[in-house]
């Protein structure tokens, strides 16, 4: 039996754009070298062009051997790479097809491995998938959703709703978070959890992100002066070098003071190269506030807090959900609140649904809360009504 792996390297494009071809080439060379260290003599590795590689694993008895190889590949390429002086951490998505089950011709195996790769990316980045029947259909559905999303930006079926964030002590609204809503003509409401990843993969997120930014700034300019607006910024938007410029443009067009705009970013931004950190500093210089979103999920290392002086930490709702339970959630929240207080950062708890959660968060010293207990995300007109009465 054979396994054909289709490997797509993350970060290559952003590294290439931000740091130049020499560093990009160095990165791919480094990755190729590390790939080879995982292979046995009879296996084959080749670059398919761009930032894609294929590996053909020979003489396997079952797929567990392939899974083991994939694990090895991940641990090899996830080590930071020194590329002409830049320490770069990269990662990959991998699609796998097996011969003879998924095909006998190399062409077909590669095509199926590519479909599996497409599926892997659909799961979010940094994962692998084996080819399965039906992946073809799903890939088609995804592509058509991508086309429809492109259309939706221009035809008005996208809306921003706003979820109030309140002071945990007195319940006063301090800011509202802009959350995208897509009213699909046939499928009804589609969750951003479904379409944001598609927009990120297709690059559409840049356009979409700018659209939300403009809409949110324009809307917030009609709110009372003390209420800020929070906008989510995808790690992909950090790869385009014009983010700070785009933010400045949205502020200028709306007349909203920079201090009333808060950008929410995730840790994924900070594990990239230093270019992202530069972009954060540029944004800070504009005077906008920066919040670290979904804190406690993903890579979640406290060391990220030292990489940039955030204005706010948003504690992920998984901790809030379990806060009254027997696990470590409440001690984790306590630790985060303490660290934040020591470095002049605010803390906002996400997904607060019950009085009990609110009370515990209050006792732990959390500053703000957001969640269904107070209000879900609501249309702009309703927010205005809430704020202006």
Q: Is 16 in the site for ligand C2E (CB under 6 A)?
A: no
CB of 128 to ligand C2E, least distance (A): 23
> By beta-carbon distance, which residue lies closest to ligand C2E?
371
| Of 83-91, 166-174, 247-255, 347-355: span binding ligand C2E (CB under 6 A) | 347-355
Between 63 and 142, CB nearer to Ca ion: 142
Q: Is 102 in the site for Ca ion (CB under 5 A)?
A: no
Integer Cα distance of 23 and 374 in angstroms: 49
Interface with ligand C2E in residues 157-216 (CB under 6 A) = 163, 178-180, 191-193, 196, 209, 212
CB of 9 to ligand C2E, least distance (A): 23
Between 103 and 371, CB nearer to ligand C2E: 371
Q: In what order do the strands lie in the sheet with 2-9?
A: 44-49, 52-57, 2-9, 92-99, 128-130
For 386, the token pair is 């809430």
CB of 375 to ligand C2E, least distance (A): 8
Among 222, 201, 199, 223, CA closest to 210: 199
Pairing of strands 368-369, 346-349: parallel
Q: Is 267 in the site for Ca ion (CB under 5 A)?
A: no
CB of 4 to ligand C2E, least distance (A): 34
Between 88 and 377, CB nearer to ligand C2E: 377
Q: Is 264 in the site for Ca ion (CB under 5 A)?
A: yes
Beta bridge partners of 161: 179, 379
Interface with Ca ion in residues 138-197 (CB under 5 A) = none
Q: Is 200 in the site for Ca ion (CB under 5 A)?
A: no
* CA–CA distances in Å: residue 97 to residues 91, 106, 318, 382: 20, 10, 35, 51
Peptide bond into 279 cis (omega under 30): no
Q: Is 372 in the site for ligand C2E (CB under 6 A)?
A: yes
Integer Cα distance of 336 and 96 in angstroms: 40
Q: H or E stretch including 378?
A: strand 378-379
Q: Is 267 in the site for ligand C2E (CB under 6 A)?
A: no
Integer Cα distance of 248 and 242 in angstroms: 10
Between 52 and 148, CB nearer to Ca ion: 52
Between 299 and 372, CB nearer to ligand C2E: 372
Q: Mind giving me the DSSP string for 20-77?
A: -HHHHHHHHHHHHHHHHHT--TT-EEEEEETTEEEEEE-S-SSHHHHHHHHHHHHHHH
**Contact with Ca ion (CB under 5 A) among 232, 234, 240, 348:** 232
For 233, the token pair is 């910024």
For 244, the token pair is 């700070």
Integer Cα distance of 154 and 137 in angstroms: 27
Between 163 and 214, CB nearer to ligand C2E: 163
**Contact with Ca ion (CB under 5 A) among 8, 43, 102, 262:** 8
Residue where the block lists tokens 């073809």: 136
* Residues found near Ca ion in the complex (CB under 5 A): 8, 51, 232, 264, 293-294, 350
* Residues found near ligand C2E in the complex (CB under 6 A): 163, 178-180, 191-193, 196, 209, 212, 232, 234, 293-294, 317, 350-353, 370-372, 376-377
């Amino acid at each position: 039996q054979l396994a054909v792996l289709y490997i797509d390297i993350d970060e290559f494009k952003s590294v290439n754009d931000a740091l130049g071809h020499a560093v990009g080439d160095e990165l791919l060379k480094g990755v190729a070298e590390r790939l080879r260290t995982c292979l046995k003599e009879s296996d084959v590795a080749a670059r398919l062009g761009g930032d894609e590689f294929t590996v053909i694993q020979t003489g396997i008895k079952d797929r567990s051997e392939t899974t083991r190889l994939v694990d090895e590949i991940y641990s090899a390429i996830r080590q930071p790479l020194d590329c002409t002086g830049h320490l770069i951490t990269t990662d990959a998505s991998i699609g796998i097809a097996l011969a003879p089950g998924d095909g006998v011709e190399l062409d077909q195996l590669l095509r199926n491995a590519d479909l599996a790769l497409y599926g892997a990316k659909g799961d979010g980045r940094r994962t692998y998938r084996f080819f399965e029947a039906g992946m073809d259909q799903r890939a088609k559905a995804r592509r058509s959703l991508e086309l429809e999303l492109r259309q939706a930006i221009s035809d008005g079926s996208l809306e921003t709703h706003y979820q109030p964030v309140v002071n945990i002590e007195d319940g006063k609204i301090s800011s509202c978070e802009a959350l995208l809503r897509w009213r699909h003509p046939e499928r009804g409401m589609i969750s951003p959890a479904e379409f944001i990843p598609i927009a990120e993969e297709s690059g559409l997120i840049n356009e979409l992100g700018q659209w939300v930014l403009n809409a949110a700034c324009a809307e917030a300019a009609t709110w009372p002066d003390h209420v800020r607006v929070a906008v989510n910024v995808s790690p992909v938007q950090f790869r385009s070098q014009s983010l700070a410029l785009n933010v400045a443009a949205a502020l200028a067009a709306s007349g909203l003071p920079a201090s009333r705009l808060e950008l929410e970013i995730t840790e994924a931004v900070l594990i990239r190269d230093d270019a992202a950190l530069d972009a954060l500093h540029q944004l800070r210089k504009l005077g906008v506030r920066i919040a670290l979103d979904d804190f406690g999920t993903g890579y979640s290392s406290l060391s990220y807090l030292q990489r940039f002086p955030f204005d706010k930490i948003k504690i992920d709702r998984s901790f809030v959900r379990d806060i009254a339970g027997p696990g470590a959630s409440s001690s984790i929240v306590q630790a985060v609140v303490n660290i934040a207080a020591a470095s002049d950062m605010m803390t906002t708890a996400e997904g607060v649904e019950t009085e009990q959660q609110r009370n515990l968060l209050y006792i732990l010293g959390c500053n703000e809360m957001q969640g269904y207990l107070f209000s879900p995300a609501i249309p702009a007109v309703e927010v205005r009504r809430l704020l202006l009465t």
